[in-house]
Amino acid sequence: MPKTCDDARAFWVTAPGKGEIRGEVLPDPKPGDVTVDTLHSGISRGTEALVFNGRVPRGEYARMRAPFQEGDFPAPVKYGYANVGTVAEGPEALVGRSVFCLYPHQTRYVVPADAVHVLPEGLPPGRAVLAANLQTAVNGLWDATPRIGDRICVIGAGTVGCLVAWLAAHICGCRVQLVDTDPARATVAASLGVEFRSPANAQPGADLVVHASGNPKGLSTALDIAGFEATIVELSWYGDRPATLMLGERFHSRRLTLKSSQVGAIAPAQRGRWSGKRQMDLVFELLDDPTLDALITGEDSFDDLPRVLERLSAKPGGALCHRIVYG
């Protein structure tokens, strides 16, 4: 029988634009389960703002479910997928270890042991909240198939866009420009070792464009910047908003390719050899770089989460990864 755990509380979206913290009933752990006490969770700002505001299209309700989501869209729903904590109970080899799990914002939870990823020794748990976004960026670049020496343009200096630009800048010979309408993002770009440009000053003729702004205007900019026979990879998710494009101008004459990417399936070129676990092992190896701390631009306590999400969803600009602290 489930038991009530006094210190188990979770954030729920109760109606579009509204949320609250509720008490939770935890199941008794089964053999092979772990009980995790949360240290941090991360707000995946773009997607969670759409969920919080009730902007998930009805046709995407099933595909948009997070692994441990409870409730249904639009509300009430418990949603999230960037949780870092300490194993309090479970197999002896895991007790006391810091782990990442695709779990919503909740103080304590019980999941199968194979649902958690043990953090490498020395990786700060607070940085590990970037794991889900970095997994998206890795998969996006796998879909993009950049080549040595490419001129790469990343449009949208949100968390995912910054991570894509940072990864691309490590490819030999590649010149990377990070494009955003917010001039304040130039500081973050500099810390990541990439060039920052406004849309008006973006250099045209890119061999590869990755769009991650979440704004259809950014995708139009991608069409303008892309060079002859270039590929544009779309990493944005618009929810229920339409994206209108002018495909009667340069799209055909430049023989452009517009390609989608989504982290729910490993890129086709890698799929035969890479499991989800191998992909996440790579993510945690890549996270062992203090440069990425620049992407965590805000922090609040768990008790303030309803007000934090209301604020971030109303004014999405400014914040990159927002970290929630427990305890």
User: pLDDT of 33-50, one tens digit each?
Assistant: 999 999 999 998 888 999
Length of the chain: 327
C-alpha count within 13 angstroms, C-beta hemisphere, residue 31: 0
Three-state DSSP class for residue 200: helix
The share of the chain scoring above pLDDT 90, in percent, equals 89
**Is residue 203 within 8 Å of residue 179, measured between CB atoms?**
no
Alpha-carbon span 193 to 148, nearest angstrom: 17
Cα separation, 131 vs 112, whole angstroms: 19
Q: What is the mean pLDDT of residues 300-317?
A: 90
Strands 226-234 and 257-260: parallel
Q: Are strands 321-325 and 296-301 parallel, antiparallel or unpaired?
A: parallel
Q: How confident is the model at residue 316 (pLDDT cuts 50, 70, 90)?
A: low
pLDDT the model gives residue 1: 41
Q: How far apart are CA 167 and CA 112, in angstroms?
A: 32
Distance CA 189, CA 169 (A): 11
CATH no. for 139-269: 3.40.50.720
pLDDT of amino acid 256: 96
Q: What are phi and psi of 3, to 5 degrees?
A: -125, 150
Confidence grade of residue 322 (pLDDT, cut at 50, 70, 90): very high
Amino acid at position 266, single letter: I
Residue type, 216: P
Residue 218 CB partners (closer than 8 Å, separation 6+)? 155, 156, 179, 199, 211, 212, 236
Give the angle subtended at the CA of 4 by the CAs of 302 and 306, to the nearest 5°.
20
Nearest Cα to 325, choosing from 52, 11, 84?
Answer: 84
Our CA dihedral for 91, 93, 96, 102, rounded to 10 degrees, sits at -70
Quote the mean pLDDT of the chain.
94
Which CATH fold topology does 3-123+288-325 show? Quinone Oxidoreductase; Chain A, domain 1 (3.90.180)
Nearest to 45 by CA among 170, 130, 109: 130
Burial class (CB in 10 A: 0-12, 13-18, 19+), 266: buried
- Overall average pLDDT of the 257-275 stretch: 95
Q: Which H or E element spans position 78?
A: strand 77-78
Torsion of CA 84, 88, 89, 91, to 10 degrees: 60
The CA distance from 158 to 138, in Å, is 15
- Find out whether 302 and 107 touch, Cβ atoms under 8 Å: yes
**Percent above pLDDT 70 for the chain:** 98
What's the whole-model pTM score? 0.94
| Cα-trace Rg, the chain | 20
Q: How confident is the model at residue 319 (pLDDT cuts 50, 70, 90)?
A: confident
Residue 99 to residue 114: CA distance in whole angstroms: 11
Comparing CA positions, the residue from 21, 69, 75, 82 lying closest to residue 52 is 75
What pLDDT, on a 0 to 100 scale, did the predictor assign at position 4?
Answer: 46
pLDDT of residue 315 exceeding 90, the answer is no
Q: Sketch the domain layout of the chain as residue ranges.
A: 3-123+288-325, 139-269
> Which contiguous run of DSSP H or E holds residue 203?
none
Residue 161 predicted with pLDDT over 80: yes
pLDDT, position 2: 45
Token pair belonging to 31: 């053999």
Q: How far apart, in whole angstroms, are the C-alpha atoms of residue 212 and residue 215?
A: 8
Alpha-carbon distance of 159 to 168, in angstroms, equals 14
Render pLDDT for 175-218 as a digit per residue (tens, 0 to 9): 999 999 999 999 999 999 999 999 999 999 999 999 999 999 99
